[in-house]
Amino acid sequence: MSENSVSSYQLKIRVINFIELAYKENDGVTTSLIKEKGPFTLKVNERGEAMLIGKAGTVRFDVSEEVKQIGLDLKMVSVMFSGGREGKLHYMASFNFAGGVKVEFSSILDIEKLILSCSGLLCRAARLLKGRHQQIDQSVGL
């Protein structure tokens, strides 16, 4: 791999970043897509036009800056998500680059960790609520 190459770890971070951007664009539909049991798909083209698509609806958003940050000639991204148990999403991702180079991987996304690690008012509220639940559990001996 060249010095301009990208690891699957870096691309996994991009998948998380794309989901966060979809949430910023339309939190209601994005939340519904993540919570539904059926599959949903993330598509990104070479111009950074992204769509999150599933039974609950479609979210269109721009990831052109993130595509530039990858640093390679990205042609397309396709990520297929399926609902998992205990707040985890399973996904299979395919990043296609110029010259026929393709990087594919599968992974699991922990939704609770994602929500608690993000920024913004809703994320801070989620962290406070989680801390409050833990405090109550400890006070009653759970």
What tens digit of pLDDT does each residue of 15-74 get?
Answer: 988 988 998 898 888 888 888 767 999 999 999 999 999 999 999 999 999 888 887 789
Give residue 30's identity as a one-letter amino acid code. Answer: T
When pLDDT is cut at 50, 70 and 90, the band that residue 141 belongs to is: low
What tens digit of pLDDT does each residue of 69-125 get?
Answer: 887 789 999 999 997 667 788 999 999 999 999 999 999 988 777 666 665 555 566
Contact criterion met (CB below 8 Å) for 131 and 139: no
Distances from the Cα of 96 to the Cαs of 25, 107, 110, in angstroms? 25, 17, 25
Residue 2: pLDDT above 50? no
Structure confidence at residue 133 (pLDDT): 47
